[in-house]
């Protein structure tokens, strides 16, 4: 049974990540275990790349589409220890202390998240993300407490096959939707389904 169409979206939750542990012989990523990143506050990713016009015969003869992925920020309550060690490259020493070194290397990962819709939750996955270290800040407690969040600068790039992201919609297979956070969804880019007009 097909899901109903959403009219609006709001909210942010169910942020998960899966580390890219390597690449196969086709240069496609190999993902580790999907893990939750709790405390999602805000996500803002801007599309990179603009259309370029090719002029001929005194007019726009062809439009070149340039998709360079996305850039933006993910704001969360607090970076988890697992994310800090596996993605940000920090080390957990024998005494259980997180240590950041100047030569720490960050790792790429898939990013999952979910928006709430008026009918169904809209699930997303970006297949290849890189992130920079969050700033360190807080402030003294005065008459009221103010929670200080942490913000991660994200870059989402395409895979070798051109895939950047995927998201669910009212046409999404029920099994695919139910298993969304188990592994990054990989579509068959050689086939697609045409939307039909209303009433057809």
DSSP labels for the chain?
Answer: -PPPPPS-EEEEEEEEEEEEEEE-TTS-EEEEEEEE---EEEEEEEEP---EEEEETTEEEEEE-----EEEEEEES---HHHHHHTS--EE-TTS-EE--TT-----EEEEEEEEESSSPEEEEEEEEEE-PPP-------SS--PPPEEEEEEE---TTS--EEE--TTS-HHHHHTTTTS-----TT---PPPPTT-
- Whether residue 188 lies inside any domain: the answer is no
- Number of domain units in the chain: 1
Return the structure tokens found at 114: 């979910």
- Whether residue 44 lies inside any domain: the answer is yes
- Whether residue 121 lies inside any domain: the answer is yes
- Whether residue 1 lies inside any domain: the answer is no
Q: pLDDT at position 193, please?
A: 58
Q: pLDDT at position 11, please?
A: 83
- Whether residue 101 lies inside any domain: the answer is yes
| Each residue's pLDDT tens digit, 32-65 | 999 999 999 999 988 886 777 777 777 777 776 6
Q: pLDDT at position 198, please?
A: 44
- Whether residue 186 lies inside any domain: the answer is no
How does the average pLDDT of the chain come out, rounded?
85
pLDDT at 82 over 90: yes
Domain that holds residue 59: 9-137+147-178
pLDDT at 69 over 70: yes
Q: pLDDT at position 127, please?
A: 96
Question: Which residues 6+ apart lie within 8 Å of 144 measured at CB?
Answer: none
- Whether residue 51 lies inside any domain: the answer is yes
- Whether residue 184 lies inside any domain: the answer is no
């Amino acid at each position: 049974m097909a899901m109903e169409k959403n009219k609006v979206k709001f909210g942010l939750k169910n942020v998960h990540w899966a580390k890219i542990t390597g690449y196969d012989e086709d240069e496609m990523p190999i993902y580790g275990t999907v893990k939750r990143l709790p405390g999602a506050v805000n996500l803002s990713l801007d599309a990179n790349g603009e259309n370029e016009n090719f002029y001929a015969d005194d007019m726009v003869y062809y439009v070149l589409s340039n998709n360079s992925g996305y850039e933006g920020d993910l704001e969360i309550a607090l970076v988890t220890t697992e994310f800090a060690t596996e993605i940000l490259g920090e080390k957990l020493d024998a005494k259980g202390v997180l240590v950041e070194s100047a030569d720490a290397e960050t790792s790429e990962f898939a990013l999952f998240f979910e928006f709430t819709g008026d009918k169904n939750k809209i699930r997303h996955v970006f297949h290849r993300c890189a992130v920079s270290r969050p700033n360190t800040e807080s402030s003294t407690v005065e008459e009221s407490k103010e929670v200080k969040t942490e913000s991660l600068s994200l870059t989402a790039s395409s895979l070798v096959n051109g895939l950047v992201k995927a998201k669910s919609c009212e046409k999404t297979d029920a099994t695919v939707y139910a298993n969304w956070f188990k592994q990054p969804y990989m579509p068959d880019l050689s086939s697609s389904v045409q939307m039909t007009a209303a009433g057809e």
